[in-house]
Amino acid sequence: MSPYIAEFIGTMLLILFGNGVVANVLLKRTKGNDAGWIVISAGWGVAVYVGAFCSNAYSGAQLNPAVTVATMLNGDLSYQEGAVYILAQFLGAMLGALLVFLFYKQHFEVTQDPDAKLACFSTGPNIRKLGQAFFCEMIGTFALILPIFLIAAPSLVHGDAPAESDPTLGLGSLGLLPVGLLVFGIGMSLGGTTGYAINPARDLGPRLVHALLPIRGKRDSDWGYAWVPVAGPIAGAVLATVVFWLVSLPDAV
């Protein structure tokens, strides 16, 4: 399978399961209505694992432009390849969001809360301070990407060079389970402020779908906030990469 198709399919599955659990909890008359934040966080952890194990062998299961940016900065993926990865991720996220809407269409129609409908597509801060929200998205993404690098390439931390450039980051199928648990933990610990997008494609792609779909009773798509879950995760990716470089130096303590 082409790595670009793998990124498209993996990200589509990520959003289908991830935004699907949000819809199940927030929309009216679902079996999971009002199940709470623990269910949402657990659902997103499973979503990451499902998307990742379906695409890992072909593309490295990045599924996130922030991860792709970090991988490019780390020299494991060319900028040309990375750009196509990111395009595939955005398109996959948009398809996943569309499938969630079609799956829960009747429940969207009986739900009166326009904020709940938007939340089934994209994130937003509970306290609207954009600078603080940017910081939270940056730190949340840092807490995602640095552990992924440390899980995938422990030899680098001890100063050993990898055998070859590897866009899969060296994660086998068992190595993907800790990543799913990591996302679950980020949701439980750091997700209460902004809803932890930590992934520009996860937020911007579905937000575009929300804007385009004829959803009854929907609100605006909150474009004034939309830059935060894009810029914050990219900043977190850069920060995580720099820290990884520092701890990977041969003489690092």
DSSP for 172-213 reads -HHHHHHHHHHHHHHHHHHTTTT-----HHHHHHHHHHHHHS
Residue 193's nearest CA partner among 223, 146, 228, 238 is 228
Question: What domains can you pick out in the chain, each with its CATH number?
Answer: 3-247 (1.20.1080.10)
Q: Write down the pLDDT at residue 107.
A: 98
Q: Write down the pLDDT at residue 155.
A: 44
pLDDT digits (tens, 9 = 90+) for 83-110: 999 999 999 999 999 999 999 999 999 9
Read off the pLDDT of each residue in 190-206 and give the average, rounded to a whole number: 98
Query: CB of 137 within 8 A of CB of 228?
Result: yes
Q: Write down the pLDDT at residue 250.
A: 72
pLDDT digits (tens, 9 = 90+) for 30-65: 999 999 999 999 999 999 999 999 999 999 999 999
Q: Write down the pLDDT at residue 152.
A: 76
CA angle 125, 126, 128 (to 5 degrees): 60
Residue 222's nearest CA partner among 201, 200, 207, 206 is 207
Q: Is the pLDDT at 154 greater than 90, yes or no?
A: no
pLDDT confidence of 3, banded at 50, 70, 90? very high
Q: Write down the pLDDT at residue 163.
A: 43
Q: Is the pLDDT at 206 greater than 70, yes or no?
A: yes
Read off the pLDDT of each residue in 64-69 and give the average, rounded to a whole number: 97
Read off the pLDDT of each residue in 142-166 and give the average, rounded to a whole number: 66
Read off the pLDDT of each residue in 185-201 and give the average, rounded to a whole number: 98
Q: Is the pLDDT at 249 greater than 60, yes or no?
A: yes
Query: CB of 10 within 8 A of CB of 93?
Result: no
**Residue % of the chain over a pLDDT of 90:** 83
Query: CB of 90 within 8 A of CB of 62?
Result: no
Q: 222 or 178: which carries more pLDDT confidence?
A: 222
pLDDT confidence of 251, banded at 50, 70, 90? low
pLDDT mean across residues, the chain = 91
Token output for 107 = 């429940």
Token output for 66 = 């922030």
Q: Write down the pLDDT at residue 174.
A: 55
